[in-house]
Each structure stands twice: as structure tokens, then as C-alpha cells.
A and B are shown apart, each in its own frame.
Chain A
Amino acid sequence: MGSVEDDVTKVIYKFYDALEDLLRSRGTASMVEIWHHTEYATTSHPFGSWARGWTEVKVNWDEGAAVFDSYDGHANRSDRIGGIYDLKVVVLGDAAYGTGIYRSKLYMSDRELNLSLNCTNILHRIDGVWKIVHHHADQAQPDWQEAIGRMVGAGHS
């Protein structure tokens, strides 16, 4: 039986597995599952502003999935698009947070697109179950956002 820190760490890694599912057009079910669906849920992504409350949070993940429906750079590749590195977890009773660096690589038609962002995830334990209630990623650099915007406009990567 692992420590509470181990439990929290596993949830955060599952969150990034859910993000990988979303980016690879495998749906949002795993992302929906990893969150507590509360009014105090909040999220902010590498592009866009704050979403506050589960309804807005869910819409933001749905839109993220719609954005990456246009991406096909990993169609014939087995490597991950991204993952969390240097993850540090702190547990304070029924609340916990993790800080780390999310790194990703997208294969666009004209170049590789790399991302490296500081991220924070806050978890809440409700009825013994740890889930995410807050996600914050730094804003991506402007050229990354512009490339993603062009992909959405064109409908392909």
C-alpha cells in the first residue's frame, strides 16, 4: 500500500494520460473522469482564459479536443505527444497539489512544434477519492498559439 503522496502522484499522471487521449482524438471520457465536477473547479490552458465551474471547465476540454481533431501528426507514430516532468507533490490533509513541467512535441506539416510549460494541479479528496479541481498551465509562446490557430483554420496540421 503506497503513501498518500503516491496516490496523488498517480492521479496527476493519469491526468496527463487523459490529456494524451484528448490530444490524440481518443475522446474526453478519461479527462471527465479525473475531475471532481464542482462549482469550484477551475482550469487555464496554454491558450485561452480562465474557465470557472465544472460546466465551463468541461467546455474548455471539449474545445481542446475539437482543436486537436485537426491534428494528425501522430497518426503513424507511437511516441507520446507530451508528459509531465519534475513533478513534486505536496499533501495537506484532504487537499494536495503538484507542480511540474509539461513538455510536448507536435509534428506539423512544416516543422516540429515544441512546448515547455510550468503547470500546477490541485486535487481534493472527497469521500476518499482524490481528483483534480484545478489545473493551470502557463500560456504558450505566441508562435505556438499562432500555429495551432492556423491548424484549426485549415482543418489539418
Chain B
Amino acid sequence: MPNAPHSAANVGSDAGGFRVLGGGDGNLRIAAWGYWPAEVISAFLASATSAAQSLAPAGVFVFDTKDLKPQGAEGQEALRVLFRALARLPFAKGLIIRGNAMTCMQLTRLLRECEVDRRIEFADTQAFGS
């Protein structure tokens, strides 16, 4: 059911995890934090990329990374899978809420590698109002 609402349950632990909020209204918000262990990476690959399909052409994608640490090779590959999926989808606006500057640089690099950097911009937490 690609257009069904996705659950807002946390996946992982305080040390590393994510939460997907999206679905019915055509928008998608993902919050991610910490350093991801293997089981979180597997879960992210399964749920985040399928949730991306719920983005409507007029929808907004928000990736809240203010508490996300730089990821290792496997975590980076999971993020690439999401960004490549987004590169193929129509959506109105993409925002990454930035935190750790090193993470911001890693995400900047991954967005560029996945050729979606012109469609997703960075925003400060304060600017986003959350």
C-alpha cells in the first residue's frame, strides 16, 4: 500500500535511530539521530524508501538531521538509496534541517553524488520553526 500513512514510531534507540512521518497528505517528514547500527540501517532502507513513494508532486520532503551524526559506509549507502529514490520523484520542495556541521557536509556530498542537490536545501532549526 504505497500511499498508506506511515507510522511515527521510533526505530532504533537514543544512540541512533529514525522516525518516519508521512503519507496521507502527500508530504513526508523523516527525523534521524545518532549513529546508526546495522539493524537501524536495514530498517531505514525498508521503510524510508517506501515512504518516499507517498510524496505527492505538490508535497514537501523534510529530513530532520539536527541530531544525526556522520554515518559510516553502510549508513551513507542507505541515505544514497533514499536520495536516489527522491531524485526520480516529483515533489514541490525538499528541506534538510541541519545540526552537526560534519553531518551537513556529509549530506551535502551525498546529495551531490545522487544529483538531487538542486532540489533539496538546508535550513536551520530556528528558520523551520520546530
Contact = CB atoms under 8 A, between A and B. Distances in A.
A152 B108 contact: yes
Contacts, number: 54
A145 B35 contact: no
Contact of B105 (A51, A56, A152): A152
B33 to A, nearest CB: 12
Interface residues of A, number: 21
A141 interface: no
Interface in A75-115: none
B108 A48 contact: no
A16 interface: no
Contacts of A49: 69, 99-102
Interface residues of A, dominant DSSP = helix
Interface of A: 45, 47-49, 51, 55-56, 58-60, 62-64, 66-67, 145, 148-149, 152-153, 155
B52 to A, nearest CB: 23
Interface in B102-130: 102-106, 108-109, 112, 117
A56 B112 contact: no
B71 to A, nearest CB: 7
Contact of A59 (B72, B105, B112): B72
Nearest to B117: A153
A155 B108 CA distance: 10
Contacts of A62: 72
A148 B105 contact: yes
Contacts of A153: 108, 112, 117
Given A48-B100, A63-B70, A155 B112 contact: yes
A94 B14 CA distance: 34
A28 to B, nearest CB: 13
